[in-house]
Amino acid sequence: MNTEHKVKTTKVAVVGPNGNLGKYVVPALVAAGFEITLVTRTASKAEELKRSIIVQGGGGGGDTADTADTANSDDAKDGAVVVIHVVQGDYTSAASLAKSLKGHDSVVSLLNRDQTAAQIQLVDAVLAAGVPHIVPAAFGVDTSRPEVRALPHLAVAYVKSEDHLRDAIERADGATTFTGIHNGAFLEWIFKFNYVINLVGKGDEDEPSTIFDQGDVRMSASSMWDIGKAVAVAVARRNEVAFRNKFLLMHNVTFSQNELLGYAKDTLPDKPWPIVRVDTLEAERKSQEEFDSGNRAPVAMHGFFQRAFFGKGLGFFPETDNALLGVEEHDGEWLKDMVRTQLV
């Protein structure tokens, strides 16, 4: 008689895996030993992500009828078999999504936070499917702060979807819980897109950095890889009180524009590193004018973000839940090395 106890595998549905965080979050969930379903509008891109993870896991596998791949992965927990399914999902229909989500233990949303309608449909689908846990798309700014919630652009997007989440979870009366993660800025984007300082220009005369106000306001940032690991922890510990119906804060590093610019100057001291200063109060005023006139384009809203995060410091987390999420915080020397790697 076989008395061996078979441990139930946690089944996680990832909605929107083709976005910016998918290639970081999905591998972390696989490494944690979860069985993954990628719910996507574009199955071909999700299939590419699935194949890349299987290959990186050190094994191959044939597709089954439900487009699942399996492989033994050195990265997977305790050498577990990697299982990744891909299913087509309609983000405009809660009823359709619910069919794809039924039977899962947790849903991770990687939809863009600006996709308010899709976020609302997803929350409704999670409850309709009876899924007991969701990690909502709350990555980035901490919307629990009143000053952030008051930002006009966020009030019609992020805040609306998160308020719907809270109301839905309250109606579920314990049947479904959530764990949100606010991570500040994406560290990789700071090096890639120049929105803190212009590192891509490498200090050339015609490549100025935009410094907001005096440039001494601190901000929080997290590596996308560590965001992925934090999501896996949130799923694994979803039934613990500290993770139930909470928005948790994390960051790997904090810094100001002046500090980052100083690290760059130390690395390439012979370059001029020109700057252009922007008054965040004036930037906010211009965005308010655009908003009042009906222009809600992202570029027109930049002044709100610039004032909030570079003027008021709302992108800095004085306290975090790093210990809960297993996130390591690094010092200035670590960040300086990152800047050096980018520039040299």
The tens digit of pLDDT for each residue in 50-79 reads: 999 887 763 333 332 233 444 434 445 555
Answer CATH for 11-184+222-249 from 3.40.50.720, 1.10.1060.10, 3.40.50.1100, 3.40.50.11540: 3.40.50.720
Is residue 309 classed as helix, strand or coil in its secondary structure?
Answer: helix
Amino acid at 217: V
Q: Give the pLDDT confidence score for residue 79 in this predicted structure.
A: 53
What whole-number distance in Å separates Cα of residue 258 and Cα of residue 262?
Answer: 6
Strand partners, 285: none
* Lookup: tokens for 214: 């005096």
Q: Give the pLDDT confidence score for residue 157 in this predicted structure.
A: 81
Backbone φ, ψ for residue 231 (5° rounding):
-65, -45
Planar angle of CA 72, 78, 83, nearest 5 degrees: 40
Q: Give the pLDDT confidence score for residue 62 in this predicted structure.
A: 34
Region of residue 44 (phi > 0: left; psi between -120 and 50: alpha; otherwise: beta): alpha
Burial class (CB in 10 A: 0-12, 13-18, 19+), 239: exposed
Q: Give the pLDDT confidence score for residue 82 in this predicted structure.
A: 80
Average pLDDT, consecutive stretches of 10 residues, N- to C-terminus, the chain (344 residues)? 61 96 97 97 92 67 35 48 90 96 98 93 98 98 90 82 96 97 96 92 96 98 98 98 98 98 98 98 97 92 93 96 98 96 94
* Lookup: tokens for 182: 């606010």
CB burial of 169-208 (b: ≥16 within 10 Å; e: otherwise) equals beebeeebbbbbbbbbbbbbebbeeeebbbbebebeeebb
**Closest listed residue to residue 29, CA positions, set 73, 68, 88, 92:** 73
In the DSSP assignment, the letter for residue 321 is -
Q: Give the pLDDT confidence score for residue 232 in this predicted structure.
A: 98
Confirm or reject CATH 3.90.25.10 for domain 187-220+253-317+329-343, answering yes or no.
yes
Where in the chain are the domains?
11-184+222-249, 187-220+253-317+329-343
Q: Give the pLDDT confidence score for residue 7 in this predicted structure.
A: 57
Residues 129-143 have pLDDT tens digits of 999 999 999 999 999
**Closest listed residue to residue 306, CA positions, set 219, 222, 248, 247:** 219
